[in-house]
Amino acid sequence: MTATNIIDGKAFAEGLRKDIAGHVARLKAEHRLVPGLSVVLVGDDPASHVYVRNKGKATLEAGMKSEEFRLPASATQAEVLARVEALNNDPTVHGILVQLPLPKQVDSAAIINAIDPDKDVDGFHVVNVGRLNTGQPSMVPCTPLGCLLMLKHHLGNLAGKRAVVVGRSNIVGKPMAALLLGESCTVTIAHSRTADLPGEVRRADIVIAAVGKAEMVRGDWIKPGATVIDVGINRIERDGKAKLVGDVAFDEAVKVAGLITPVPGGVGPMTIACLLRNTVTAACRIKGIPDPQ
Ligand code: NDP
């Protein structure tokens, strides 16, 4: 990839992780604080195992404490709740993440809302959703936070920009819209019932695509010079080969956009980096130390 308008999320995430490792080293030296992240994994979904392994590895590489708790696919709601409760009460744990999806017999919302909101590094607890939407310090969901950091790095002040967020999920679309509103963008949230999606996208200076439909956003929907952040991860087969593509038709959009994230190598690497960032933030808040980030 050589075009100069492509945002290199991998390099940006590596830089962020290096900065975080520096903050962690200083927190250890100056405050004897080792931020700790605990991940709870229930069942044997292979993709979840890969995610959890990558999160643990990145946590250790940043110099933090990492713990993983595995429960069988047959675990009851009470067993998962007991594990969360134990982590809430453990002073060496600053971040708790329950890997989703959970098995059918476990109520995900009840588990997420049982996490101490101050340790909820995924930012999914209703208290954090409320804090984010009322402009209070909150834990912010990692993927939208990663998108925002990239946008601010490349565009600076976002105030007054027209943003369209395609997708209204609780983990990406809605928090992304809240973050952009917090930056004083004029925000439109589009979804499967939006009447004229191409028209909505064409008006936007910033397009966030978080849909889960391969290459749905076409190049001729993009306003020339707009910034396009593609959150989608879709596995497709093309020319007999497995391929990872985003929600944006990259080859078309890259010719029109001012800036664009590729898939892979755009938003994806930022998600884990932001999980580490959130763990440092949680540790500092819990200990009453200024957050260096
Ligand atoms: P969800 O399935 O929860 O939400 C998808 C959203 O897209 C819904 O709001 C849905 O609308 C909307 N949508 C579906 N079809 C259309 C359409 N034809 N036109 C307009 N909107 C539509 O997905 P997530 O938010 O969890 O994830 C979105 C994508 O981002 C996925 O590809 C996922 O893999 C990826 N992802 C990537 C991450 C990363 O680290 N890079 C992290 C998280 C997700 P409605 O509400 O009306 O149904």
Render pLDDT for 49-107 as a digit per residue (tens, 0 to 9).
Answer: 999 999 999 999 999 999 999 999 999 999 999 999 999 999 999 999 999 999 999 99
Asked if residue 1 has pLDDT above 80, the reply is no
> Residues 24-31: contacts with CB within 8 Å, 24+ apart?
24/62, 24/63, 24/64, 24/280, 25/63, 26/292, 27/280, 27/283, 27/284, 27/289, 27/292, 28/63, 31/287, 31/289
Q: Which class for 131: exposed (0-12), middle (13-18), buried (19 or more C-beta within 10 A)?
A: middle
Cα of 134 to ligand 1 centre, how many Å? 24
Give the mutation target among 97, 217, 233 for probing the ligand 1 site: most ligand atoms within 8 A of CB.
233
Catalytic residue status for 122: yes
Pair 88, 147 in one domain = no
Q: Which class for 111: exposed (0-12), middle (13-18), buried (19 or more C-beta within 10 A)?
A: buried
> Is 81 a member of any domain?
yes
Asked if residue 159 has pLDDT above 70, the reply is yes
Catalytic residue status for 116: no
> Is 188 a member of any domain?
yes
Measured by CA distance, the residue closest to atom 17 of ligand 1 is 192
Catalytic residue status for 99: yes
**Interatomic CA distance for residues 144 and 208, integer angstroms:** 9
Pair 223, 187 in one domain = yes
pLDDT for position 2: 56
With bands split at pLDDT 50, 70 and 90, how would you rate the model's confidence at 3? confident
> Is 248 a member of any domain?
yes
Please report, for the domain that includes residue 36, its CATH number. Answer: 3.40.50.10860
With bands split at pLDDT 50, 70 and 90, how would you rate the model's confidence at 138? very high
Per the structure, the count of domains in the chain is 2
Please report, for the domain that includes residue 169, its CATH number. Answer: 3.40.50.720
Asked if residue 18 has pLDDT above 80, the reply is yes
Tokens standing for 45?
């979904």
Q: What is the helix (H) or strand (E) element at residue 96, kind and residue range?
A: strand 95-98
Domain with 260 in it: 142-269
Pair 86, 195 in one domain = no
Measured by CA distance, the residue closest to atom 35 of ligand 1 is 232
Across the range 201-218, mean pLDDT stands at: 98
Residue 231 CB less than 6 A away from ligand 1: yes
Asked if residue 256 has pLDDT above 60, the reply is yes
Cα of 246 to ligand 1 centre, how many Å? 11
Name the active-site residue from 118, 122, 205, 247: 122
> Is 282 a member of any domain?
no
Runs of H (alpha helix) within the chain: 9-31, 46-61, 77-88, 108-112, 126-133, 142-155, 173-182, 197-202, 250-253, 268-287
With bands split at pLDDT 50, 70 and 90, how would you rate the model's confidence at 146? very high
- Mean per-residue pLDDT of the chain: 97
Last residue of a domain, one of 68, 100, 117: 117
Question: What is the pTM assigned to this prediction?
Answer: 0.97
Count of Cβ atoms closer than 10 Å to residue 130 Cβ: 12
> Is 13 a member of any domain?
no
Give the mutation target among 7, 12, 55, 172 for probing the ligand 1 site: most ligand atoms within 8 A of CB.
172
